[in-house]
A and B are shown apart, each in its own frame.
Chain A
Amino acid sequence: MEFTRETVEHIAKLSKLEFEEDKYDAFQKEFVKILEHFDNLSDVQLEDVDINDIEGKKSVLRSDDVHIFEDREALIRNIKKMRDGYIEIPKVVD
């Protein structure tokens, strides 16, 4: 695969990250080097193993009991901006 500048920008967009203009090139080179190294994964002969096999696994379920979290203050403490109990952010336009 070609790791073009576009690829880096696309992945950055998906990751909600942005880089300074001059950083893109350096980042792209590094990115390419690392990912090319990872291509050694394709060299490995692997059986088409089912990664979702359930051998030795069990369901873990909890009962439908209500438990009120006792320290709402501690939760709210970390929120930067609130209004009337809601978290306030700039208007989101769909």
Chain B
Amino acid sequence: MSYEAVIGLEIHVELDTASKIFCGCPTTFGADPNTNVCPICMGMPGTLPVLNEEVVKLAIKAGVAIDCDIRLTNKTDRKNYFYPDLPKAYQISQFDMPICENGHVKFDVAGVEKTVGITRIHIEEDPGKMIHTDDGVSLVDYNRSGVALIEIVTEPDIRSAEEALAFLKTVKSILQYSGISDCRMEQGSLRCDANISIRDFGQDILNTKVEIKNLNSFKEVGKALQKEYKRQSDLHRFDEAHKIKQETRRWDAAKGRTLTMRTKEDAHDYRFFPEPDLPPIILEKAQVEAAIHTLPELPDAKRVRFHDAYELSSQEVEVLIAEKFIADYFEQVVEYGAAPKKAANWVIVEGLRLLKSVEQEEIPVKPSHLAKLIELVEEDTVSVTAAKEVFEALVKHDEDPIDLIEKMGLRQNSSADALGEIVDSVLSAHPKALDDYHSGRPESVGFLMGQVMKATKGQANPRMAKELLLQRLGACAPEA
């Protein structure tokens, strides 16, 4: 007997701003501990926050990209709790008047379209980070304290781990496309907590939900949800549903299960009240409209356009639009004259392969060069195999592909006359192979081709060489 999973997600996304939300400290990742800090983000006595306008802009953009209503008057509130990574012992967040509400995200799961409602998006500040050592000590770093975040809260519309993952991928894509965040879960710029309860299919009620924290990758989100679903299902099945408590459980990746972290009784009383140090955020419709205009084409629209304009397969389109920079790259290659189908193939296979070996999110070959290379392959100037070598070389050598081809000696010999001569000489050098062929051994063609390629130092246009070879072989068939 199985149950329906009722899942909601809370996603924290670090906004791509140059400075922190309330002070001028840089937001760069990976700096030495406690170096991207100042009295404000360390919560020193007497300091005051001042809101970064870019944070408001990006929050509006996120809301618009996720189809939300933008609240023209919204405000910040203090969320009070003690924790060493929270320097003021309160987090400036938004409680009852968040900047965005009532949106939705559409995506595909195994070919079926699904919509998840977005309850709200609000802005808040990130706390610092703690590492726990083996010798009984915790180390606190405030570099991250004060980085701007938006929190996206979904309606409990998700029904499986699979849906959760598809949803997360879609949201990541939308936010990356909109330039709101780089959404890197490994770097912590995207974090996710999940809420899950279960019920009988067909029911409308919401049973006790459990919150799960410490999910550090999309994969873990999926695993944790599955595990927690099983835990709750088992309890239901054995009539012990009352043992499901409203609590926060911590996902332990090593142990592969969730563990109680905080019960409802221990739950924080956040004592929200309006932030007295900050005036309300008052927006004009024009600002919202401006945000709509500055939004680039979002994944959904791009998918449809790529389908129609480039006649690519669904699979190809999905890979290309997975990241905006890949889609942009592909289109630039096409703009430089490459046939879409060929360009797609090259980007998907060779381009993504190269990506794995570099640090930044950028295919390290100029789109103009790739387009040229594709053209050269079309013209038979270089074989596909050789072109792949050239492509690799283009990473280090920013030169015209034709020059590289010459330098690397990879120019394909596509002269029918020259090749014909070589084929002839190979044939005369290997009479036995000839005989083998005529006695019905087609594999001798492979041997002869090898010889031709050897003779041409691999530069023979293979297709042409084979054509000529077969021609000659056919031509010198023994008299029947």
Contact = CB atoms under 8 A, between A and B. Distances in A.
Interface stretch (B2-10, B50-58, B410-418, B460-468): B50-58
Contact of B33 (A59, A65, A86, A92): A86
Interface in A63-80: 63-69, 72, 75-76
Interface residues of B, number: 51
Given A54-B282, A89-B140, A75 B33 contact: no
A86 B37 contact: no
Interface of B: 17-19, 23-26, 32-35, 37-39, 42, 44, 50-56, 73, 75, 82-84, 97, 130-133, 136-142, 250, 261, 269, 271, 274, 278-283
Given A67-B24, A83-B137, 20 more contacts: A14-B271, A52-B280, A58-B279, A60-B279, A61-B52, A62-B53, A64-B52, A64-B54, A66-B25, A66-B26, A69-B24, A69-B39, A75-B44, A76-B34, A85-B34, A87-B142, A90-B138, A91-B138, A94-B250, A94-B261
B37 A89 contact: no
A16 interface: yes
A85 B33 contact: yes
Contacts of B50: 60-62
Contacts of A52: 75, 97, 274, 280
A36 interface: no
B132 A62 contact: no
A51 interface: yes
Contacts of B130: 92
B51 A75 contact: no
Contacts of B274: 51-52
22 contacts: A52-B97, A52-B274, A52-B280, A58-B282, A61-B50, A62-B52, A63-B52, A64-B53, A66-B24, A66-B25, A68-B26, A69-B24, A69-B38, A75-B34, A75-B37, A75-B38, A85-B35, A87-B34, A87-B84, A88-B138, A90-B137, A94-B250
Nearest to B34: A85
Max count, chain A CB within 10 A of own CB: residue among B75, B131, B140? B140
Nearest to A63: B53
Contacts of A88: 137-140
A2 B261 CA distance: 31
Interface residues of A, number: 32
Contacts of A66: 18-19, 24-26
Candidate in A62, A68, A85 with the most chain B CB atoms within 10 angstroms: A62
- Sorted from nearest, which 3 A-B pairs have the closest CB atoms? A67-B24, A86-B139, A69-B38
A91 B131 CA distance: 9
Contact of A91 (B19, B44, B133, B271): B133
Contacts of A92: 83-84, 130, 132, 138
A26 B158 CA distance: 53
